[in-house]
Amino acid sequence: MDSSKLKQDEVAIVMVPFPGQGHLNQLLQLAYLISSSYNLPIYYVGSATHNRQARVRANALNPLDIAKIQFHDIPTPEFASPPPDFNSLNKFPAHLEPSWAACMLMREPIASFFHDISSKTRRVVVVHDSLMSYNVQDVSSLSNAESYIFNCISVFTLYCLICLSCGMSIQLEEELLKNLPSLEGIMTDEIRERGASQSLYMDIRSGDIHNTSRVIEGKFLDLLVEVTSTQNKKQWAIGPVLPAKLDHVSNTNNICLEWLNKQPPRSVLYISFGTTTSFSDREIKELAMGLEQSKQRFIWVLRDADRGDIFTGEARKVELPEGFEERVKEVGLVVREWAPQLEILAHSSTGGFMSHCGWNSCIESITMGVPIAAWPMHSDQPINGFLVMEILKIGLIVREWEKREELVSASTIENVVRKLMASEEGDEIRKRADELGEAVRLSTEKRGASRMELDSFIAHITR
């Protein structure tokens, strides 16, 4: 009998992501990595809308390999999908609350899916977002199932959050500790309560998987093990889960990639604030003027935050200063649709990334060796930005977290862009980012630290 077929019926892996783009994407990349490397059956479980979203935006993943992943649509109650409030001083995407509330009603259909799969395989391995812990709790009632949390944030952020919530001291040099951003204003009370309500169901898990590499966060992985030692959970740092070598380019005719092909090496600043940030008209005007005054090449992805259902509703047409696009057309490109971020960061013409510092964007930028102009907006982003800038030293800050409600002026933006893209200090930062990126990519190859941890995880779940 074919041994690979036997293996397939032995262990099934079920991925349960949280319905936000940064979360959907990281779990899809993990599903892709495991299915293309280990020949294990993988189920990706979510609402039809969010499963479709994950597939439509699967940058740099080969469709032939995505086809091996079995998407299972869970019936989800209808939810409101309001547009974001782009004038709000607090950048947290509170407009996504209805879609998050709806996804918390998926426990029963998820449990029934687990039961069905568990009757057909020797072992069911559930890999889930920590924010979906409530929904997967029924895994504990199955004798042949076990679950693992996949953390979509940096280990440094997780370590800081655990220390601060338990009143433990964070092990950092005094100077760094003094500058660590506060947690004030990072999220709404509703989402804080939602997170807290999940923690009741986290003890069920058998271990934790992290989308990071020892090369990036080895020290903090060790510290995390120390502060969670009483939980006695196994830990694996298997990241980055994204394709470190881009064998598949999703769309070679993409306007961004075509434009980058015509630019000098490392000369372009890529600007994108992810899928949960919207800028007011004033903020957009200052950013446009700052970019123009800097006289540096740029690609700017100018989009509002996602709605809960990205397939509904009209996108807001953002007005740029009159004549702006005409004036910068030799040096800049403004893109209003979905952009292939990973391919842009991997392109030899890209030399910097102005980012909100979501972990997805950070890990992509670090892996591709691109330094970051950090402009955190909410959630884990301020601490991620601190990691990039103060600890890894591969970035500059655009705006201090304490000044998050102040308008960032065009001159501030101009100065940061020039410093990163056209100064000796910027060149030094770029060199460090380049070296770190190379080390991270090596860690994902055979006998590299991350690959060995992934092998160890797979060996553990197929034991």
Say how many CA atoms lie within 13 Å of 188 toward its Cβ. Answer: 13
Type and span of the H or E element at 261: none
Distance CA 124, CA 143 (A): 10
β-sheet with 268-272: strand ranges across: 332-335, 297-301, 268-272, 350-355, 372-374, 395-397
> Per this entry, what is the length of the chain?
463
What is the Cα–Cα distance from 262 to 255, expressed in whole angstroms? Answer: 11
Please give the Cα distance from 117 to 120 (Å, whole number): 5
Alpha helices in 90-182, H assignment, sequence order: 97-103, 107-118, 155-166, 174-179
192 contacts: CB under 8 Å, gap ≥ 6: none
Considering 23, 72, 210, 378, which one is annotated as catalytic? 23
Contacts by 119-123, CB closer than 8 A, 24 or more apart: 120/9, 120/12, 121/9, 121/10, 121/11, 121/12, 122/9, 122/10, 122/11, 123/10, 123/11, 123/12, 123/461, 123/462
Kindly provide the b/e burial profile for residues 150-171, where b requires at least 16 CB atoms within 10 angstroms of the residue's own CB: bbbbbbbbbbbbebeeeeeebe
Is 110 in contact with 135 (CB distance < 8 Å)?
A: yes
- 247 as an active site residue: the answer is no
| Sequence letter at residue 296 | Q
Nearest to 279 by CA among 408, 182, 188: 408
CB 126 within 8 A of CB 154: no
188 three-state secondary structure = coil
Shortest CA distance to 251 belongs to which of 316, 343, 327? 343
Return the amino acid letter for 14.
V
- Please count the other Cβ atoms lying within 10 Å of the Cβ belonging to residue 316: 13
Say whether 129 is catalytic. Answer: yes
Hey, CA dihedral for 444, 268, 329, 283, is it positive or negative? positive
Token pair, residue 214, equals 């020892």
Out of 95, 128, 129, 378, the active site residue is 129
List the catalytic residues.
Answer: 23, 129
